[in-house]
Amino acid sequence: MPITEILARNAALYGEEISLIEINPEIKEVTANWKDYELVEPDPEKRYRREMTWREFDDKANRLANFLLGRGLQKGHKVGILLMNCLEWLPIYFGILKTAAIAVPLNYRYTEEEIKYCLDLAECDVLIFGPEFTGRIEAIRERIPNVKIRLFLGQNCPAFAESYYALTACCSSVTPKIKLSDDAAAAIYFSSGTTGFPKAILHTHRALMLSCEVEMNHHKQTCEDNFLCIPPLYHTGAKMHWFGSFLAGSRAVLLRGVKPEWILRAVSEERITIVWLLVPWAQDLLDAIEHGDLKLADYKLAQWRLMHIGAQPVPPSLIKRWKQVFPNHEYDTNYGLSESIGPGCVHLGIENIHKVGAIGKAGYKWEVKIVDENGRPVKQGDVGELCVKGPGVMKCYYNNPEATAEVLKEGWLYTGDMARMDEDGFIYLVDRKKDVIITGGENIYPVQIEDFLRTYNVIKDVAVIGLPDHRLGEIVAAIIELKAGVSSSEAEIAQLCEALPRYKRPRRIIFDKVPRNPTGKIEKPRLREKYCGSSSLVEMETEG
């Protein structure tokens, strides 16, 4: 069943109930009123909050779909979405899908050249963008001639675009009569691009629908739940976790901001029951509580039943801290890739808290295996490459058959993640295949060292990378970000690391900020580029 039918069902069953709420704690500019398309000035004395019912959600999606169809959009055409998280984002996404066209969400951190690259790679015919991106689009507008329709969502529409609000407001809200098949292409997502320009990942309606089923199966959403969505909607993680709420017909809150106070306030005031966090946000929230900056007694949190984390390896020490502060919370770890329609192909399961540190077992309707460099399954306990298989595997890397052939083999997606399986069948991530450090012939997995260093209570974040060495090939370097208001020294870190085997001890310690992308992944290529050959590093006197 195409995923658009779930929206039509929700509008019929829960029409007057709230589907989405947008909260922006820092909004200061003129914005648009969703219901009547009038431009209004928010009251500076009140919190900025907008909401939309399921019927309004479906109506707005239909209006956009009918507008695009009226402009000649057909099956296979591509529509780029370049927006910050907002109430309009998801109706726009579903409006595109209702036309049988392909939705192409774009990273809001892209430079103008990256935007152009992705629009060209996906062969986009339409672009819908917000006021934050006017300058970037204007800089490339003459070089994207194939993007013939440019819709602007905001006030003061630039001359090179048309007003989204003005054009869609007068369109029919009746569902267009377009037949969609499960195997039809639905969306193109882009890889993180941490190793160069991103690849375009093509998914079908079947894959999107599976993500709804997986999320509900894993986290048991009902109509009574309320999901707090903080990560960017252009990424599969945020949207596919919301898909469980979508399938249940329950509401969700889009929070524009990640400050701990804003998160707890939203949970309290909106009666949130499920929160998905990235590792840095969970750490910041715990730090604020432990330092006394936030007092749990000031918030209504009894209804909050589940916190789950994904997008990057989760330090077991973090979850132990979380359970001390929130002992009644259910917890889950989710593993996935954009190539496997986001989270859920492997998950821990809320019943397996005793296995914190593992990413879990194969998710609902998924298969997993761990293989050696020749594609043969490894022995239990040995490290190999994690592979996944299921209806949510991407169709291909769009317009890149060579890259597709490298990772798709006989229906299996080779993830590039190194992993091992324990005697109970639980999978543990070891590291990214490309991040393995080889020093003196020994394989070193940075995540193991990172998890160890995070147990030191002054460390906020850490990234371990390999740096070139003429004798050993590579040496281990640890980039350490300290918590605010605390200090440490190379000698203290060296003493801490004496508990590690000698060959795993960092040879270099660097005190610096650890860069992460919007989905929480450490940007190790940036660190390698910054520090390879640097003379400002502190070398520890340890043997190989």
Banded pLDDT at 203 (limits 50, 70, 90) = very high
User: How many Cβ atoms are within 10 Å of 35's Cβ, its own excluded?
Assistant: 13
**Which residue would you say has higher pLDDT here, 323 or 279?**
323
Tell me what pLDDT residue 30 has. 40
Tell me what pLDDT residue 39 has. 42
CB 359 within 8 A of CB 415: no
DSSP code for 360: B
CB 40 within 8 A of CB 165: no
Banded pLDDT at 447 (limits 50, 70, 90) = confident
Residue with tokens 């040496």: 475
Count up the domains in the chain and report the number: 2
Q: 204, 229, 258: which is the final residue of a domain?
A: 204
- The domain that holds 494 is classified in CATH as 3.30.300.30
**Which residue would you say has higher pLDDT here, 500 or 117?**
117
Look at the chain and count its residues.
Answer: 544
Q: Residue 274 above 80 pLDDT?
A: yes
Average pLDDT value for residue range 79-84:
97
**CA quadruple 241, 246, 250, 255: dihedral, nearest 10:** 50
Please indicate, yes or no, if residue 111 is contained in any of the structural domains.
yes
**Which residue would you say has higher pLDDT here, 158 or 523?**
158
Banded pLDDT at 434 (limits 50, 70, 90) = confident
Banded pLDDT at 518 (limits 50, 70, 90) = low
- The contacts of residue 36 (CB under 8 Å, 6+ apart) are none
- The contacts of residue 324 (CB under 8 Å, 6+ apart) are none
Please indicate, yes or no, if residue 166 is contained in any of the structural domains.
yes
Please indicate, yes or no, if residue 95 is contained in any of the structural domains.
yes
Q: Is 3 left (phi over 0), alpha (psi -120 to 50) or beta?
A: alpha
Tell me what pLDDT residue 33 has. 47
Tell me what pLDDT residue 198 has. 83
- DSSP readout, 51-110? EEEHHHHHHHHHHHHHHHHHTT--TT-EEEEE--S-TTHHHHHHHHHHTT-EEEE--TT-
DSSP code for 516: B
Average pLDDT value for residue range 525-542:
57
Domain extent at residue 115: 4-8+22-204
Token readout for 231 is 């990560």
CA atoms within 13 A of residue 87's CA, in its CB half-sphere: 26
Cα torsion angle, 51, 56, 59, 61, sign:
positive
Q: Residue 315 above 80 pLDDT?
A: no
**Which residue would you say has higher pLDDT here, 488 or 532?**
488
Please indicate, yes or no, if residue 416 is contained in any of the structural domains.
no
Q: Residue 158 above 50 pLDDT?
A: yes
pLDDT, tens digit (0-9, with 9 covering 90-100), for 342-385? 788 999 999 998 898 899 999 999 999 999 999 999 999 999 99
Q: Residue 328 above 60 pLDDT?
A: yes
Please indicate, yes or no, if residue 477 is contained in any of the structural domains.
yes
Q: Residue 101 above 80 pLDDT?
A: yes
Crossing angle for the helix pair 89-98 and 236-248, nearest 10 degrees?
A: 80
Q: Residue 538 above 80 pLDDT?
A: no
Average pLDDT value for residue range 23-51:
59
- DSSP readout, 171-237? S--SPP-----TTSEEEEEE---TTSSPPEEEEEHHHHHHHHHHHHHHH---TT-EEEE-S-TTSHH
φ/ψ (deg, to 5) at 96:
-65, -45
Q: 174, 204, 234: which is the final residue of a domain?
A: 204
Average pLDDT value for residue range 478-483:
92
Please indicate, yes or no, if residue 93 is contained in any of the structural domains.
yes
Q: 177, 204, 231: which is the final residue of a domain?
A: 204
- The contacts of residue 491 (CB under 8 Å, 6+ apart) are none
H-type alpha helices, 293-356: 316-325
**Which residue would you say has higher pLDDT here, 207 or 316?**
207
Please indicate, yes or no, if residue 225 is contained in any of the structural domains.
no
Banded pLDDT at 196 (limits 50, 70, 90) = low
Burial grade of 524 (CB within 10 A; 0-12, 13-18, 19 or more) = buried
**Which residue would you say has higher pLDDT here, 444 or 163?**
163
Please indicate, yes or no, if residue 369 is contained in any of the structural domains.
no
Tell me what pLDDT residue 64 has. 98
- The domain that holds 88 is classified in CATH as 3.40.50.12780
Q: Residue 119 above 90 pLDDT?
A: yes
